[in-house]
Amino acid sequence: MLCDPVMQRAPGKVLLDAVCNHLNLVEGDYFGLEFPDHKKITVSDGKLMKGGNSCCFSSQQRAPGKVLLDAVCNHLNLVEGDYFGLEFPDHKKITVWLDLLKPIVKQIRRPKHVVVKFVVKFFPPDHTQLQEELTRYLFALQVKQDLAQGRLTCNDTSAALLISHIVQSEIGDFDEASDREHLAKNKYIPQQDALEDKIVEFHHNHIGQTPAESDFQLLEIARRLEMYGIRLHPAKDREGTKINLAVANTGILVFQGFTKINAFNWAKVRKLSFKRKRFLIKLRPDANSSYQDTLEFLMASRDFCKSFWKICVEHHAFFRLFEEPKPKPKPVLFSRGSSFRFSGRTQKQVLDYVKEGGHKKVQFERWKHRSSKRLCY
């Protein structure tokens, strides 16, 4: 019956009447039709999910985004899940973060055609703030992915050193034949062949280092790189010069290419806003500063601008506030501007929770990345 395209577009009463007619039921008004309000959503990332799997999670359509993120974190037994997020391409093919407060159905309109990625969202200034070995492992996998995608740029020496720690974590102690065979099968960066001798040389120095120690050393090197945890957002300044904007735990950064040319720490920022395609930074008064009161940057579209503004709001709240901001009361009649706000624990709340032992220690077992599989829950 529902296979009829006309019936699929008809109002619900038509379907109920059809059922009652089929049953020759006169008093059909006492009856109704119900159906499961669930959608399967595929969450994937070849580096961060267990075994490189794609996992599909069943979620109520009207459930907020937080329900899906919590399901992924529970699947991974991840306590410090607040550092992570889910991203996906919206209907305009713009990569956006899943809003934890909005219903999933309003964000992911066609779940069958969308793969949601589980990735690191908030990079703390110091990896020692990550209390759990599993969390540091997932951060190390994110570094590995960012290297492969060219997002984390660095000089050849740093790249070789990073890869040597990845190799130590994956195959253990140095053996030249095993090293070269492994590097031939696994490409961590595009220009790896030219660095192979240096990688092998560095790996020889890591004998006896455990996988957890390798992750720690990897993050120690990565966090000192200028592009660590950075996602560039194309924009133009007031003069029309092409630049890139980024947000970090310290504030808002300005890049030309991959070179940082300016930074506005959170302490200097009074207000962030956007108007259509214009991203606005209102600075606190400073007699020693040569900058104008309000800085203006032009982005490709309103959607790009709003997306960047939202991630800036989230970074400021996560790293600067002591607790999650309380929701503002809804206006009775009219409202202007976006009602978006940060949702979730702040970094301070996460640190306090883990330090106070508010969770049970879960045995952590590293998994090997095999061919992609799909699991459903």
- Residue 146 CB neighbours (<10 A): 22
The reported pLDDT for the residue numbered 45 is 54
The reported pLDDT for the residue numbered 258 is 92
The reported pLDDT for the residue numbered 365 is 72
Asked if residues 192 and 183 have their Cβ atoms less than 8 Å apart, the reply is yes
Task: For CA atoms 46, 372, 218, 147, give the dihedral sign.
Answer: negative
Beta pairing, strands 54-60 & 374-376:
parallel
Instruction: Please indicate whether the domains covering 127-222 and 233-327+337-347 agree at the CATH topology level.
Output: no
Tokens of 177: 């034949």
The reported pLDDT for the residue numbered 334 is 42
The reported pLDDT for the residue numbered 30 is 76
Ranges of residues in the chain with a pLDDT under 50 are 1-3, 5-6, 36-37, 46, 331-336, 369-377
The reported pLDDT for the residue numbered 25 is 82
- Sketch the domain layout of the chain as residue ranges: 38-122, 127-222, 233-327+337-347
- Using CB atoms within 10 Å of the CB of residue 266, give its burial: 0 to 12 exposed, 13 to 18 middle, 19+ buried: middle
Identify which of 315, 357, 333 has the alpha carbon closest to the alpha carbon of residue 125: 315
Beta pairing, strands 242-247 & 294-298:
unpaired
CATH code of domain 127-222: 1.20.80.10
Domain spanning 233-327+337-347, CATH architecture:
Roll (2.30)
CATH code of domain 38-122: 3.10.20.90
Tokens of 29: 């008004």
Rounded distance between C-alpha atoms, residue 313 and residue 242, angstroms: 23
